[in-house]
Amino acid sequence: MLTLLALGFASGLPAPMVFSNLSIWLRDNEVSRTDIGLFALAATPYAINFLWAPLIDRLRLPLLGGLGQRRSWALLTQILLMAAILWMSLSDPSQQLMAMALATLLVTTASATQDIVIDAYRIDVLEPHEYGSGAAVAIWGWHIGGTLVGGAGGLYLAHHFGWSVAYQVLAFGVLVGMIAILASPEPVRRISAEVDEREAQARANLAARFAARPAAVLAWLHNAVVAPFAEFMRRDGWWLILAFVFIFKLGDAMLGRMSGVFYRELGFGLDDIAEVSKLYGFAANMFGVFLGGVLAARIGILRALFLAGLLTAATNLTYSALAMVGQEKWMLTIAVVSDNFTTGLVTVAFVAYLSSLCNVAYTATHYALLASLGNLARIWLSASSGYMVDKLDGDWAVFFALTAVIALLGLPLLWLLMKRFPRHTEDARS
């Protein structure tokens, strides 16, 4: 669990540097709301990392391979991530917006690849009944890295030393993940006899048709790329699951993309944002994560998701209230604390649900596919958030009310999943 906490830290650390804090940095350099929203597209690797997840599952690295499949890939991605953040710190968004976008893209690519490995590592080292607690620990680590250190720490550093120095200091925070990987054992993957037999049969069938080397290559491609997706698509209701994952967190993502810009336009300083949005918000989020783990264990993952989804949509409206009240720190605190609490609540249940859908033979590929679909809506569709605010003539109250409505879109699909798989709804508690 300590390893999962540290890896969660490494996973969360880059998030504010490409999302909330980056939006504030860009706005401070007079980049338009529309362009800030479009920067969400640079986070596309988070949405499509399932495409190279099969390589992470199967391809052995030539130099670092002695560390093991999971550990070698984790260390490589962390080295690349540190280098990419340092390059980002040297870019000037007021003069080199395209260079900043490219540097951001490299950070998100390295970070998204690291996430594949970390998620797979977590699932490999846990027993199924530990998925809920493991998800909670990983999310705690994510928010320590992302919300507390990368978020609040980054804002405080930017307030006192400037944005470039802040990013340079945070780049070395990746060392936490490196140390955790080097100090931890390689997990033992639990591949079932049935899957092992099916893969052996596939290799035998291909070997009968082709020469030895082409057969080996084709068998590897089949087992690494085709088999994971084919296995998932043989499941009952797979299309309903994918549709739900795709849209469930869209409203929350649109709010998060523009929240930093909103705070600055209301007149809040970087230190105020760090104190309320990152510190108070962090505490509320941690409590939500804890309660989410308890709730998922007591009433089941799907029921916990439904309740948390309703509360998440409701708390979006507190931002509309903040827009109407104006630059009042007490209202900012109410909005941030309530939003972060429900985000923690929903995230634990969502991660536990995705983990429960993974076949241990294809852990990295299955989890990356599911997580990527959720990120696809969050990243691509939320890129229009700045454009929406501009079209609303800066009417933030209406914008946040719309995000509340959008946040409700996934609940009818979740209700269908609960009705179609009542046993899954009950069994999720175990």
The pLDDT of residue 210: 47
Q: Where on the phi/psi map is residue 80: left (φ > 0), alpha (ψ -120 to 50), or beta?
A: alpha
- pLDDT above 50: residue 430: no
The pLDDT of residue 239: 82
Domain ranges of the chain: 2-427
- pLDDT above 90: residue 106: yes
Pick the closest to residue 40 from 18, 17, 16, 12 (CA basis): 18
pLDDT tens digits for range 366-400: 776 777 777 777 777 778 888 899 899 889 999 99
Cβ(117)–Cβ(52) under 8 Å? no
The pLDDT of residue 89: 94
Number of H helices, E strands in the chain: 26, 0
The fraction of the chain above a pLDDT of 70, given in percent, is: 86
The pLDDT of residue 185: 87
64-68, 260-264, 322-326: least confidently modelled range: 64-68
Q: What's the CA gap between 304 and 294, in Å, rounded? A: 9
123-127, 145-149, 197-201, 413-417: least confidently modelled range: 197-201
The pLDDT of residue 220: 56
pLDDT tens digits for range 179-236: 999 998 888 765 544 445 555 555 455 455 544 455 565 665 666 556 766 777 777 7
Fold of 2-427: Growth Hormone; Chain: A; (1.20.1250)
- pLDDT above 70: residue 346: yes
* Token couple for 396: 């933030």
DSSP conformation class of 185: P
Highest mean pLDDT among 124-133, 246-255, 310-319: 310-319
CA-based end-to-end distance of the chain: 19
pLDDT band at 153 (very low <50, low <70, confident <90, very high): very high
Q: What is the mean pLDDT of residues 242-263?
A: 84
| Model pTM score | 0.70
